[in-house]
């Protein structure tokens, strides 16, 4: 713990009082005795709070800070761009940073995904993709295609449209009724696969993919516009795709004339090891949605990347995609994104992830010796650790036990031990990890040591 002065303590106390009175946190509980921890600075893979305590940022902020905290180059880029042009919208105009960034992103994307529509975040990118799918089919003579299929427990954002695609009932219930058209299929949690697939991940992948075809048939192929899938599903605890899964999904989408949307808000920009994770898993979608890591969090931006085929009906001189955001493609954010991608290329960030991912996996898999740890799964620098009551039967915890385990013990204990990560129960209880992409074995070992100590204590308590 860092010793701080009385003045600093006074300032921190003042901020806490202001936060308690005025700040409405996101996905946060509020009430007497609940005051948010105030994070004041970051450097590399570490963050500090207002009391001077230092933590490993084991979640990259929120799957965002790919190249680490405190990059002066990115802050300076923002300031320089703001001096020349702080803002102008892309509503029938363009700016040099947005043009250059669109070309850069298209160059990384697979196939003919050459059209980049900018947003300010991931939920907006998902919203944009659904709206594009619906209008595209109206323009091409299939006006009845408006429904979307996504996976159970999958998270795709909080705007009303994106929320309908999200597959977490508890997140949707307070805002019912949802936007019509969202339907769910099984996810790819191999740890909890039906018994007949428990030793055959490829067969399980085929089973999960075929449920998409089944859902399209049930709803009617003339009504389904798109399938939204994350390359590695986040909510539920990092479900990688089984072998052959996306190959089969692509076949199904082609067969039924349904668009395949790769929601890469988390997985893009190095999290799995490539600029786009669809490249890591060998499939070409019709649309990619992305955000978070594009600027490493130094300025907000998101994007929907669409194929030339989807853009074609809008390229006639009169048809308009009647959709947009004031700050989409903000020139400062676009300039920061270009500088961030320069760092990726100059420092070989993607190669670093690919080279170090096996060591990260091997380090985390040592946690399987702890009775409470049932599964360790993920790809790249993106992992989930599923916690179970009984490892032999895979019995999970009930709601009261999850509350006591995750929020009552793990969340504060991990943080007090010096690790910021996520203890989550959207689905079965997990601890999620996604450290900055500049991490190496030293950081992996430090993360492991904290997790091992805290999870061992949790195992004894439960």
* CATH number of the CATH domain containing 262: 3.40.640.10
Query: Which of helix, strand or coil describes residue 290?
Result: strand
| Cβ proximity of 457 and 399 under 8 Å | no
Which H or E run includes 355? helix 349-365
113 CB neighbour count, 10 Å cutoff: 26
Torsion of CA 206, 209, 213, 214, to 10 degrees: 80
> What pLDDT is stored for residue 1 in this prediction?
45
Please tell me the distance from the alpha carbon of residue 358 to that of residue 379, in angstroms, as a whole number. Answer: 9
Residue 297 shares a structural domain with residue 443: no
Residue 128 shares a structural domain with residue 219: yes
Q: Which of 347, 381, 413 is the last residue of a domain?
A: 347
Residue 56 shares a structural domain with residue 83: no
Please tell me the distance from the alpha carbon of residue 455 to that of residue 391, in angstroms, as a whole number. Answer: 14
For 211, half-sphere exposure in the C-beta direction (CA atoms, 13 angstrom radius) is 16
> What pLDDT is stored for residue 13 in this prediction?
74
Pairing of strands 224-229, 182-185: unpaired
23 CB neighbour count, 10 Å cutoff: 14
Residue 289 shares a structural domain with residue 394: no
Q: Is residue 12 part of a domain?
A: no
Residue 369 shares a structural domain with residue 329: no
> What pLDDT is stored for residue 10 in this prediction?
56
CA torsion sign for 395, 398, 401, 407 is: positive
Residue 328 shares a structural domain with residue 188: yes
Q: Is residue 54 part of a domain?
A: yes
Q: Which of 291, 319, 347 is the last residue of a domain?
A: 347
> What pLDDT is stored for residue 255 in this prediction?
98
Q: Which residues span the domain enclosing 386?
A: 37-66+349-461
Q: Is residue 102 part of a domain?
A: yes
> What pLDDT is stored for residue 411 in this prediction?
95
| Domain count within the chain | 2
| Cβ proximity of 57 and 43 under 8 Å | no
Residue 285 shares a structural domain with residue 416: no
Give the pLDDT means over successive 10-residue stretches in the chain (462 positions). Answer: 56 86 94 93 97 97 98 98 98 98 98 98 98 98 98 96 94 93 97 95 98 98 98 97 98 98 98 98 98 98 98 98 98 98 98 98 98 98 97 94 93 97 93 98 98 97 85
pTM of the complete model? 0.96
Q: Which of 327, 347, 367 is the last residue of a domain?
A: 347
Residue 325 shares a structural domain with residue 380: no
211-268 pLDDT, tens digit each: 999 999 999 999 999 999 999 999 999 999 999 999 999 999 999 999 999 999 999 9
Q: Is residue 11 part of a domain?
A: no
What values do phi and psi take at 281, rounded to 5? -110, 5
| End-to-end alpha carbon distance in the chain | 29
Q: Where are the alpha helices (DSSP H) in 152-259?
A: 160-165, 169-172, 201-219, 245-256
């Amino acid at each position: 713990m860092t010793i701080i002065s009385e003045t600093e303590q006074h300032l921190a106390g003042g901020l806490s009082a202001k936060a308690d009175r005025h700040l409405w946190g996101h996905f946060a509980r509020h009430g007497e005795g609940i005051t948010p921890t105030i994070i004041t600075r970051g450097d590399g893979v570490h963050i500090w709070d207002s009391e001077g305590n230092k933590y490993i940022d084991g979640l990259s902020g929120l799957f965002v800070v790919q190249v680490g905290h405190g990059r002066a180059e990115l802050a300076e880029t923002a300031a320089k761009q703001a001096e020349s042009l702080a803002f102008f919208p892309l509503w029938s105009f363009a700016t040099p940073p947005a043009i250059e960034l669109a070309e850069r992103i298209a160059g990384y994307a697979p196939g003919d995904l050459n059209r980049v529509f900018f947003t300010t975040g991931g939920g907006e990118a998902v919203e944009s993709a659904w709206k594009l799918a619906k209008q595209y089919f109206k323009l091409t003579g299939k006006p009845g295609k408006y429904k979307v299929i996504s996976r159970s427990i999958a998270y795709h954002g909080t705007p009303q449209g994106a929320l309908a695609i999200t597959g977490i009932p508890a997140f949707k219930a307070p805002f019912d009724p949802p936007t019509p058209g969202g339907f769910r299929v099984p996810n790819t949690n191999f740890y909890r696969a039906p018994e007949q697939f428990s030793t055959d991940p490829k067969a399980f992948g085929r089973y999960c993919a075929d449920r998409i075809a089944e859902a399209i048939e049930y709803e009617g192929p003339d009504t389904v516009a798109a399938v939204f899938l994350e390359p590695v599903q986040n909510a539920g605890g990092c479900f990688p795709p089984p072998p052959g899964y996306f190959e089969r999904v692509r076949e199904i989408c082609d067969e039924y004339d349904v668009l395949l949307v790769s929601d890469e808000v988390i997985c893009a920009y190095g999290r799995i090891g490539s600029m786009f994770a669809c490249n890591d898993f060998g499939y070409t979608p019709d649309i990619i949605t992305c955000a978070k890591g594009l600027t490493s969090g130094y300025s907000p931006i998101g994007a929907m990347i669409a194929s030339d085929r989807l853009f074609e009906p809008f390229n006639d001189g009169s048809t308009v995609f009647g959709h947009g955001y004031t700050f989409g493609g903000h020139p400062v954010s676009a300039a920061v994104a270009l500088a961030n991608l320069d760092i990726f290329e100059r420092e070989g960030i993607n190669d670093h992830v690919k080279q170090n991912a096996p060591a990260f996996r091997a380090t985390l898999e040592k946690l399987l010796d702890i009775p409470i740890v049932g599964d360790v799964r993920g790809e790249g620098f993106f992992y989930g650790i599923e916690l179970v009551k009984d490892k032999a039967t895979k019995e999970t915890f009930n709601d009261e036990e999850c509350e006591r385990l995750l929020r009552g013990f793990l969340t504060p204990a991990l943080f007090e031990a010096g690790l910021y990560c996520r203890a989550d129960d959207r689905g079965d209880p997990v601890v999620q990890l996604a450290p900055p992409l500049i991490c190496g074995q030293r950081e992996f070992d430090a993360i492991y040591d904290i997790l091992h100590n805290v999870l061992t204590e949790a195992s004894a308590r439960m």
